[in-house]
Structure 1
Amino acid sequence: MTELGVLIVDDEPLARARLMRQLEGLEHCVLLGEASDAEAALAQVEALDPDLVLMDIEMPGDSGLVLAEKLSAREHPPAMIFCTAHDEFALPAFATAAAGYLLKPVSREQLTAAIDKVQRLSKAQRRAAAGAGEGTALAATSTPRIKAVSRRGVELLPVDGIRCLIADSKYVVAHHDGGETILDESLKDLEREFSETFVRVHRNALVAKHFIAGLSRDSDGYRVRLEGTDQRPQISRRQLPVIRQLMEELGR
């Protein structure tokens, strides 16, 4: 596996020290240096040519987001993982082609998982892919995504991989290609934002239109069958005609 040279960028000495300790013992990682602001970080990138930059967002001078944009503009940019105390910057952070977004205090488990994710995306591999005419794996994508906060940090789930959204108590659970993820947005907000993708089948459930496979009936009434998941959301009487009409339009 390709070894990653790592640069840490954070204006807080204790935060840098914590990340340094957590990097110790991680296979295929070597700490190249540290910087306390974006200006120093750019100089370090020029001098050290790191494969991965772990960076804070809120720093004196240019923010981590501005730094990420400058690094992304390089011919061969390093992979970037944000380590921050705030989750509200996730969407603009991932728009800079960030490979990860971890919330402080960053745990060794979080850091290990994030680095494992980018081990396959080292600069050398991106150069090889570019030479073969392939796009970079870290390139920004126009695929709609939903923000989710988990123990691994902040993730952006591709909407086109979600089968259904189920409201459970005060949370909404997204059932998708990779399993289940808890979201912090309401079902109502998700329905309004992604009305082209999802249709409401019940007061507590939205399903992806293009994954509808058919209907089934049990003692509780009708349920919708979805491709790629065992979830069978119940259909309310009010929504049943809507779903049947949609299935006719989809040729199901």
Structure 2
Amino acid sequence: MKTIRTLIVDDEPLSREELRHLLSEYEDFDIVGQASSGEEGLEQALRLHPDVLFLDIEMAEMNGVELANALQQLKKVPHIVFATAYPDYAVKAFRLEAVDYLLKPFDEVQLVETIKRIRKIESGNGGENQPAQKANHLGKLAVENEETIIYLSPQNIDYCFREGKETKICVGEHCYSSKQTLKELEEKLADYSFFRTHKGFLVNLKRVSALVPWLNGAYQLKIQGGRVEIPVSRNYVKELRHRLEL
């Protein structure tokens, strides 16, 4: 897996720490530096040669937009992800060809999409070569069942959930046990139609048959051919509907 050198530039220590903590969940993202100002960010970018900058906009002296403009002069221009509490800079971010635009407080679902976008770009040609690679790779998920290793096709998996210290991977009425975390499974299944509906559930969207209102703005998903109802946190409903609906 390619290591993605990452620099965080933000004048708020708590925001830097929160983003550092969230990014630490992704093994391929190596945080090579943190800067508390635009000037320090420019100095570190020149010295550390990051692949991507997570960049605040509202900073004293040199702000994030000015820093992003300055970085365009580099021979190898890092990818920019603006991370800000202000939505008003989206047009400027678009003009600077930013990879993404994250709003504070950070939404983990949106960050997952940002991570996928960065990985796709870093894989080369915006991912144009990926279909050919997939054609030569069976893409089976290995799970241990007693003394046998079972290989599951991702398309056949209905959902995964966390139970105690184990993760359950469910196909139809049968659920296999795995020592992999949901985060690890989410990364392995990133090229398939899986979505984190809740901190404890990962769902194959191609197996969803209905979305049912539940309590306090939350929903439940129904899976094709099954009686299981899977919780959907209200923070994830908007992105879920965007992924599901035409």
| TM-score (structure 1 length as normaliser) | 0.48
**Larger gyration radius, structure 1 or structure 2:** 1
| TM-score (structure 2 length as normaliser) | 0.49
